[in-house]
Amino acid sequence: MNFDEQLRHLIVEALQEDIGDGDHSTLSSIAATEKGKAVLKIKQDGILAGLAVAQKIFLFKEPTAVFVPYKKDGEAMYFGEKAFEVEALVHTILQCERLVLNCMQRMSGIATLTKQYTDKLVGYKTKLLDTRKTTPNFRLLEKEAVRIAGGVNHRFGLYDMIMLKDNHIDYCGGIEKAIEKAWRYVQENKPELKIEVETRSIADVEKVLAVGRNKVTRVMLDNFNPADVAHAVSLIGEIFETEASGGINLQNIEDYAKAGVDYVSVGALIHQAKSLDLSLKAVIVK
Query: Exactly one of 73, 144, 204, 222 is catalytic; which is it?
Result: 222
Catalytic residue (one of 127, 133, 147, 215): 133
Alpha-carbon distance of 99 to 14, in angstroms, equals 7
Rounded to 10 deg, the angle between the 226-236 and 202-211 helix axes is 20
Nearest CA to 144 among 193, 174, 104, 173?
Answer: 104
What is the distance between the alpha carbons of residues 17 and 201, in angstroms, rounded to a whole number?
46
Residues in Cβ contact with 141 at an 8 Å cutoff, skipping those fewer than 6 apart:
7, 10, 50, 53, 103, 106, 107
What is the Cα–Cα distance from 241 to 235, expressed in whole angstroms? 12
Reply yes or no on whether 120 is catalytic: no
Whether 165 is a known active-site residue: answer: yes
| 98 included as an active-site residue | yes
Measured CA to CA in angstroms, residue 266 lies from 111, 126, 131 at distances of: 13, 13, 7
Cα distance between residue 121 and residue 40, in whole Å: 32
222 is catalytic: yes
- The catalytically annotated residue of 73, 198, 204, 243 is 198
Q: Which three-class secondary structure string do you get for 36-78?
A: EEEEEEECCCEECCCHHHHHHHHHHHCCCCEEEECCCCCCEEC
Residue 198 annotated to the active site: yes
- Active-site hit among 165, 190, 258, 281: 165
Query: CA-CA distance, 221 to 242, in Å (whole number)?
Result: 7
Dihedral of CA atoms 73, 76, 80, 85 in degrees, nearest 10, equals -20
Active-site entry in 98, 127, 181, 200? 98
Spatial neighbors of 124 by CB under 8 A, at least 6 apart, are 254, 257, 258
Active-site positions read: 98, 133, 165, 198, 222
